[in-house]
Amino acid sequence: NTDKHYLADLATVGIPVVPTHFVEPDAEPMEALATFLATFDTAEFVVKPTVSAGARDTQRYGRDQQFAAGNHVARLLDQERSVMLQPYLASVDRCGETALLYFDGQFSHAIRKSAQLAPGEGARQAPMALGDIAAGSATVAEQALAERVLAATARLRQLEAPLAYARVDLLIGADGEPCLLELELTEPSLFFAQAPGSAARLAGLLASRLADGTVRARMDPA
């Protein structure tokens, strides 16, 4: 889950994801960028590595910044890192993103996060969320999609029990419907401060799993 190639797996089984073009280390950067821009009619786009956190090494570009964007892609490829190219969805500036938090497969709470990438801002090096983060509510459509994402993940990975915790990050797509930006399963920020009582609920769940041996059994391949 630390490598965002999983988005392609989820798209294959019908999950609506932010449109993504993957560029692998053996690719020619400007050629890959040209292919992406010919495929997607987007005024702005995002360059980011497939392995990152908190928008580190991620930057927003306009179509008139293709040379700078190509250099960004080349730097990442030179480091043997795979790259993602995505259209920048205009809804992000209006609505931000919604994160839905699930504990033991059950919806716990949601937060709203404002846009993280400002026009003209350089690639971020410190992995952190910027802007406003506030308690929010999930729409029926957002919650339905989040649950589809978790169900698809369980099928793909043949999980026998619900995940102890998961965070499903959604944006509003060009069609006005929610789509998946990221699925955070490996030590994600769970935004306890925005949902009083949520930390205690998760602690209780983990204590229960430890007590009945569920955690040990799932972590020990023997």
State how far the alpha carbon of 74 is from the alpha carbons of 29, 165, 181, 193, in Å: 6, 35, 23, 39
Answer whether residue 67 shows pLDDT above 80: yes
State how far the alpha carbon of 162 is from the alpha carbons of 77, 158, 205, 219, in Å: 36, 11, 12, 14
Sheet holding 106-113, edge to edge: 133-136, 106-113, 97-103, 165-172, 178-184
Answer whether residue 119 shows pLDDT above 60: yes
- Its pTM stands at 0.89
State how far the alpha carbon of 195 is from the alpha carbons of 19, 110, 164, in Å: 31, 8, 17
Look-up: residue for tokens 């972590």? 219
Dihedrals φ, ψ of 22, to 5°?
A: -90, 140
Q: What is the per-residue pLDDT for 221?
A: 43
Predicted confidence (pLDDT) per residue in 144-187, tens digit:
999 999 999 999 999 988 999 999 999 999 999 999 999 999 87
Q: What is the mean pLDDT of residues 57-80?
A: 96
Answer whether residue 214 shows pLDDT above 70: no
